[in-house]
Amino acid sequence: MLTNDLDFRLEPRLLELYEEHKQRSAKIDWGYHEFLPWDKAQDFRRVPWDPSQVTLPSSVVTAIETALLTEVNLPWFTSHLAQTFKGSLTVIQDFVHTWTAEEDQHSNLLETYLLITRSVNPSRLHELHKMTVENGWSPDFHTPFETMVYTSMQELATMVFYNNVAKEANKHDPDLGKILRRLAKDETLHYAFYRDVIKFHLQLEPNYCYHLGHVIKNFQMPGAVMPDFEDRMAIIAKEANYGPLEYFDQVLDVIIKYWDIENLRPIAPEAEKARLDILNYHARMKRIKERFMRSQK
């Protein structure tokens, strides 16, 4: 069995998972207006923007701007999910609607914060926002299971990003630290749903390993389509607590252990080969990380 669709036998368990998500989400429901420092707002027509008004370090501004330009891809991501899960399990289609509603205010919060605090040139931010959305986003995989693998990793990576950057941001603006930690809570709940959908499938049918490898070994955030993405990530890795080392320790290593890939035993030879390829990739990335850490001593 090498199907790449989701298994209908798991629908009762996924319904329970979805209900749990809604209950947990309802307990921490929020509106982005609650987290913004409105007392700092000024009319740009009356008080034009000037670089001297920026109070945050450039590395933190770059991190927040990069997060925003990732979040604004929500229409494209939702479109991909809707098309991918059309005809798949109803509970997954319902979750995509809930996920979209919960994600929708993330970009509003980040963009409004940047404008209120005058941390960016508003005209330049408008141009970047528009350019990023116009560029669009589409993955190089199109099956329900692979998409679930991708969203699991993407939500975990975003959660880690927000929590890590919050530690640096909090030194300069506690309001911003609070905003980022609030966003991370949403990503935590979304990650929990997606990762467990994958775990349930692997437990039921280890041959699903066949469809893990391509996504894991080629993972990129949807924000990779934004202008100067690599330069941005280099700055963030150096000065804002999220780079390749954090990705390995807090995303790749975590997800491979959670899905227990080492102990899965698929029957199909192609699936077993894919499982071993993932473990070899993980081991190679670990060696690279360890060599780098030794070089820094």
Q: pLDDT digits over 252-269, tens only? A: 999 999 999 999 999 999
Q: Is 208's pLDDT higher than 90? A: yes
Q: pLDDT digits over 40-91, tens only? A: 999 999 999 999 999 999 999 999 999 999 999 999 999 999 999 998 999 9
Alpha carbon distance, N-terminus to C-terminus of the chain: 48
Distance CA 152, CA 261 (A): 15
pLDDT for the residue numbered 183: 98
- Mark 67-96 as b/e (b = at least 16 C-beta within 10 Å): bbbbbbbbebbbebbeebbeebbebbeebb
Q: Is 30's pLDDT higher than 90? A: yes
Mean pLDDT, rounded, of the chain = 94
Query: Does pTM top 0.85 for this prediction?
Result: yes
Give the SS3 label for residue 37: coil
Q: Are 150 and 85 in contact (CB under 8 A)?
A: no
Q: How many CB atoms lie within 10 A of CB 97?
A: 12
Please name the amino acid found at residue 167. Answer: K
Q: pLDDT digits over 133-145, tens only? A: 999 888 888 899 9
CA-based nearest residue to 212, from 123, 286, 157, 276: 276
Domains of the chain in start order, with CATH, are 26-37+53-296 (1.10.620.20)
Q: What percent of the chain has pLDDT over 70?
A: 99
- At 1, which helix (H) or strand (E)? none
Distance CA 195, CA 241 (A): 24
The residue behind tokens 């991190």 is 63
pLDDT for the residue numbered 1: 54
Residues 6+ apart with CB under 8 A from 288: none
Region 2-24: mean pLDDT is 93
pLDDT for the residue numbered 124: 97
For the residues of 172-224, what is the DSSP string, one character each?
T-HHHHHHHHHHHHHHHHHHHHHHHHHHHHHHH-GGGGGGTHHHHHT---GGG
What is the band of 2 on the pLDDT scale with cuts at 50, 70, 90? low
Q: Are 248 and 158 in contact (CB under 8 A)?
A: no
What is the band of 278 on the pLDDT scale with cuts at 50, 70, 90? very high
Tokens representing 174 are: 């506690």
